[in-house]
Amino acid sequence: MRVFVIAGSPVAQPPCRFAPSPADRVIAADYGAHHARAWGWPIDLLIGDLDSLPAAEIQAARAAGVPTVTAPAAKDETDLELAVTRALGDGATELVICGALGGRADHMLANVLLLARRELIGVAAVIADGAQTLRLLRGDDAQHGTGVCLALAGAPGDLLTLLPLAGDAEDVSTAGLLYPLADETLFFAQARGVSNVFEAATARIWLRRGLLLVIHTQIQEG
């Protein structure tokens, strides 16, 4: 089951590559309901402490029959975390997180790091905002693991950034990019993997060990 979770970034953009189908579920986290309405997306659940969503929009959602889960303002989780946990509890196997970039730096960083949660292992999770799509590639923890491969559809000129998280990313290789890597290490907190360029319609990334944040930015002509 694919679930769209919409966070409440004040500068959210609808994703270029994703939109919910009738078979998908849409969960709005607080002000994410405002974005959903602006984008013309249905809302299956509204969740959060509702301190950002105007009262008129809360009333409109309830009048439309949208189920609402109201959390206390004093809580350990962000509204987006609550929404992601609910999506996983509902059986999500694919997760598209929208409205999570931009705005306050603390919120944006916390939102991106959600991709590293252990609960998302085995779930196809992305953060999608406008032309940007973020994924987390997890290497094999085994000492002699074979690694993993990610194939991304794009277009020549698109940008691809690879950022290691929580340590070095080891044995990284790429294909279809202007600056190739061949069984190399991307070191944590170094920017070597920033702003590579698609040379073909598909880019491939191989990773043996570590966590690698993969950021694909579409470059639209005209």
- Which CATH number does the domain housing residue 125 bear? 3.40.50.10240
Q: Which of 79, 99, 130 is the last residue of a domain?
A: 130
Nearest to 89 by CA among 58, 126, 47: 47
pLDDT in tens, 146-158: 789 999 999 999 9
Structural domain count of the chain: 2
| Domain co-membership, 158 together with 93 | no
| Domain co-membership, 20 together with 94 | yes
Mean pLDDT of 29-44: 97
Question: By the 8 A CB rule, do 152 and 205 touch?
Answer: yes
Parent domain of 81: 2-130
pLDDT in tens, 125-146: 999 999 999 999 999 765 556 7
166 in a domain, yes or no?
yes
Q: Give the DSSP per-residue string, 25-66.
A: EEEEETTHHHHHHHHT---SEEEE--SSS-HHHHHHHHHTT-
